[in-house]
């Protein structure tokens, strides 16, 4: 499939193979393994097994293109993850290793077969693993595939040194949707920077590329705004249930943005308005448009708050907030919420969304809003997030907007699995692990595929207040949403998925993820073992 590997790549490959040739070859009786039987999630576009084995061991090294941004970093990321899984110290871009026998080469390829910015190709032979992509993002996605192929345990009966046997073959892969996200509500309950980083770690492993942070709501304002300090001083001081809340300083938020960027995940910030704004109105009462005195709120009812949409000073405030948050957020999007503004008059709502869309654009971002925003005069560069209303989704299509698919009945991570679930709500549905997977976003509610930007699984936090509870609701369902957004419909199948999901248990356990052990899945808690076909 690879038609054109650049001259520069060939030079480095030549060096790499010279290293291999000079190395001292051990004779190992490789068992044959099957790449097609690797438990990959999301399932790649095309897997062609060749039924051999690549020995990952202490004689393996990683080489990367050095002068292309992100490639060497990706190589180091892979080495760290190999260390965490196997305890092997794999060197990256070292000049010479006397006993070097196998190499992992991370290569920029301008191959025209690899369409799309996240496409990659992985070619695994007995001596080398070559990972090709035209971008660092594609390399990063390919690295996740490689991490999943490396067995959890070594095969140390065959040689005097521990070997992790990687099945040989070729994988060609690229995502179906360019937007593959989850949302975390840090407003109803606050989650620390460390919690968010752990969530990013797991999302990245399953090739997510977006984390949307719901940074403000009635119960709390969670991001420092330097020009309006009371937002966090007062508005950040509580949360659902009355605990002390919390907020991200701008440095904390930047730490999250940078951590996400290393994982090729973009942060989409959301400041929800004109409803869901009680915490802001407590901090600055002039913002309030519901005619009542706003007080700190620890409950979970929705739809009682609104900004005053006809006051110029409210837009001065919003301009400052969007300017500060947009400046900290390198991605192209700014989410303005726009949902459930039940006490904002219809005309006022439309007037408000029209004005705020322009402010978002002035600060260099595209506006995203929950599906209600389609009722305003939004222009076609804005994006509508379908969560509840089929009519609003259709209006979005008619206005030429791209849509992020998050239908609550299928994709809300805070919906309970079933009657016995310890956390979560069920106002939209119970969503067991199979229901979360078995639906077709490509054809959902008649929305044309060409309008779909991608899929996002939101996790609202009314009923969860710590990382264990977060993980109980998010996993395993978020793993299924990764496959719905990456893998084409023809390549998805519940029977195949549920076996691959069962085999995520060793990874999730190693990462100390407290996932919900759905009884629909025959979790493989025992040690990972690759599928042996036959012995040479």
**Cβ proximity to ligand ACM, 71 vs 481, nearer residue:** 481
Q: Considering only residues 71, 228, 259, 370, which one is a binding residue for ligand ACM as defined by CB under 6 A?
A: 370
CB 387 to ligand ACM: min, Å: 4
**Cβ proximity to ligand ACM, 222 vs 498, nearer residue:** 222
Residues in contact with ligand ACM, total (CB under 6 A)?
A: 4
**Cβ proximity to ligand ACM, 387 vs 486, nearer residue:** 387
CB 402 to ligand ACM: min, Å: 17
Burial of 2 (0-12, 13-18, 19+ CB in 10 A): middle
CB 153 to ligand ACM: min, Å: 42
Count Cα atoms within 13 angstroms, Cβ side, for 202: 28
CB 340 to ligand ACM: min, Å: 5
Q: Is 386 in the site for ligand ACM (CB under 6 A)?
A: no
Q: Considering only residues 105, 221, 387, 472, which one is a binding residue for ligand ACM as defined by CB under 6 A?
A: 387
CB 518 to ligand ACM: min, Å: 24
CB 404 to ligand ACM: min, Å: 11
**Candidates 152, 239, 270, 340; catalytic one:** 340
Residues 88, 90, 94: CA angle, nearest 5 degrees: 155
**Cβ proximity to ligand ACM, 206 vs 370, nearer residue:** 370
CB 482 to ligand ACM: min, Å: 21
Contacts of 350 (CB under 8 A, 6+ apart): 375, 376, 377
**Among residues 78, 110, 97, 104, which one has the least CA distance to residue 8?**
110
Contact flags string 239-258 toward ligand ACM, x per CB under 6 A: --------------------
* Alpha carbons 148 and 462: distance in angstroms, whole number: 33
Give whole-number Cα distances, 249 to 210, 246, 294, in Å.
Answer: 21, 10, 24
**Cβ proximity to ligand ACM, 259 vs 460, nearer residue:** 460
Does the bond joining 274 to the residue before it have cis omega, within 30 degrees of 0? yes
CB 280 to ligand ACM: min, Å: 17
* Alpha carbons 252 and 223: distance in angstroms, whole number: 9
* Alpha carbons 463 and 315: distance in angstroms, whole number: 33
DSSP 212: E
**Cβ proximity to ligand ACM, 340 vs 483, nearer residue:** 340
Q: Considering only residues 57, 224, 339, 462, which one is a binding residue for ligand ACM as defined by CB under 6 A?
A: 339
Residues 461, 414: contact at Cβ < 8 Å? Answer: yes
SS (H, E, C) 116-182: CCCCEEEEECCCEEEEEECCHHHHHHHHHHHHHHCCCCCCCCCCCCCCEEEEEEEEEECCCCCEEEE
Which residue, judged by CB position, is nearest to ligand ACM in the bound state? Answer: 339
**Cβ proximity to ligand ACM, 334 vs 370, nearer residue:** 370
Q: Considering only residues 57, 270, 340, 483, which one is a binding residue for ligand ACM as defined by CB under 6 A?
A: 340
Which residues ranging from 390 to 449 are in contact with ligand ACM (CB under 6 A)?
Answer: none
Helix (H) and strand (E) counts for the chain?
16, 19
Contact flags string 94-123 toward ligand ACM, x per CB under 6 A: ------------------------------
SS (H, E, C) 243-272: CCCCCECHHHHHHHHHHHHHCCCEEEEEEE
* Alpha carbons 131 and 272: distance in angstroms, whole number: 41
Annotated active-site residue 456? The verdict is no
- Phi, then psi, of 395 in degrees rounded to 5: -60, -40
**Cβ proximity to ligand ACM, 173 vs 372, nearer residue:** 372
Does the bond joining 471 to the residue before it have cis omega, within 30 degrees of 0? no
Which residues bind to ligand ACM, rule: CB under 6 A? 339-340, 370, 387
Q: Which residues are catalytic?
A: 340
């Amino acid at each position: 499939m690879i038609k054109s590997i650049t001259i520069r790549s060939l030079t480095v490959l030549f060096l790499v193979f010279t290293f291999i040739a000079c190395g001292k070859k051990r004779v190992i009786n490789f068992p044959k393994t099957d790449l097609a039987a690797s438990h990959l999630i999301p399932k790649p576009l095309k897997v062609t097994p060749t039924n051999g084995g690549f020995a990952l061991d202490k004689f393996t090294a990683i080489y990367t293109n050095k002068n292309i941004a992100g490639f060497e970093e990706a190589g180091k990321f892979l080495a760290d993850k190999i260390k965490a899984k196997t305890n092997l110290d794999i060197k990256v871009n070292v000049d010479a290793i006397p006993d070097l026998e196998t190499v992992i080469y991370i290569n920029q390829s301008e191959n025209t077969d690899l369409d799309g910015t996240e496409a990659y190709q992985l070619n695994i032979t007995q001596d080398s693993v070559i990972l090709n992509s035209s971008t660092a993002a594609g390399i990063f996605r390919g690295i996740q595939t490689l991490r999943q192929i490396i067995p959890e345990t070594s095969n140390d009966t065959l040689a005097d040194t521990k070997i992790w046997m990687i099945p040989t073959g070729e994988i060609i892969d690229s995502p179906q949707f360019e937007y593959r996200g989850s949302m975390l509500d840090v407003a109803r309950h606050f989650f620390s920077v460390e919690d968010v980083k752990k969530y990013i770690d797991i999302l990245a492993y399953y090739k997510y590329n977006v984390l949307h942070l719901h940074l403000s709501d009635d119960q709390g304002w969670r991001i420092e705004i330097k020009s309006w300090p009371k937002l966090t001083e007062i508005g950040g001081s509580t949360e659902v249930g009355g605990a002390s809340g919390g907020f991200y300083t701008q440095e904390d938020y930047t730490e999250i943005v940078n951590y996400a960027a290393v994982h090729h995940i973009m942060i989409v910030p959301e400041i929800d308005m004109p409803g869901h704004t009680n915490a802001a109105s407590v901090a600055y009462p002039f913002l309030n448009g519901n005619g009542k005195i706003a007080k700190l709120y620890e409950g979970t009812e929705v739809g009682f708050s609104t900004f005053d949409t006809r006051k110029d000073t409210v837009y001065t405030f919003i301009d400052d907030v969007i300017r500060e948050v947009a400046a900290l957020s390198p991605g192209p999007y700014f989410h303005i919420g726009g949902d459930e503004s039940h006490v904002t008059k219809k005309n006022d709502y439309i007037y408000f969304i029209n004005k705020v869309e322009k402010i978002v654009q002035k600060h260099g971002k595209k506006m995203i809003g929950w599906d209600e925003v389609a009722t305003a005069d939004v222009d076609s560069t804005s994006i509508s997030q379908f969560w509840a209303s089929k009519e609003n989704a259709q209006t979005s299509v008619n206005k030429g907007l791209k849509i992020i698919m998050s239908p609550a009945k299928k994709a809300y991570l805070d919906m309970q699995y079933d009657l016995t679930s310890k956390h979560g709500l069920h106002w939209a549905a119970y969503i067991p692990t199979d229901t979360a997977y078995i639906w077709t976003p490509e054809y959902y509610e008649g929305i044309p595929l060409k309008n779909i930007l991608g899929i996002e699984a939101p996790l609202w936090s009314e009923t969860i207040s710590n990382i264990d509870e977060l993980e109980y609701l998010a996993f395993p369902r978020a793993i299924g949403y990764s496959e719905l957004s990456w893998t084409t419909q023809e390549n998805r199948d519940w029977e195949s998925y549920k076996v691959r999901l069962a085999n995520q248990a060793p990874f999730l356990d190693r990462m100390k993820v407290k996932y919900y052990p759905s009884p629909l899945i025959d979790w493989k808690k025992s040690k990972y073992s690759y599928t042996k076909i036959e012995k040479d």
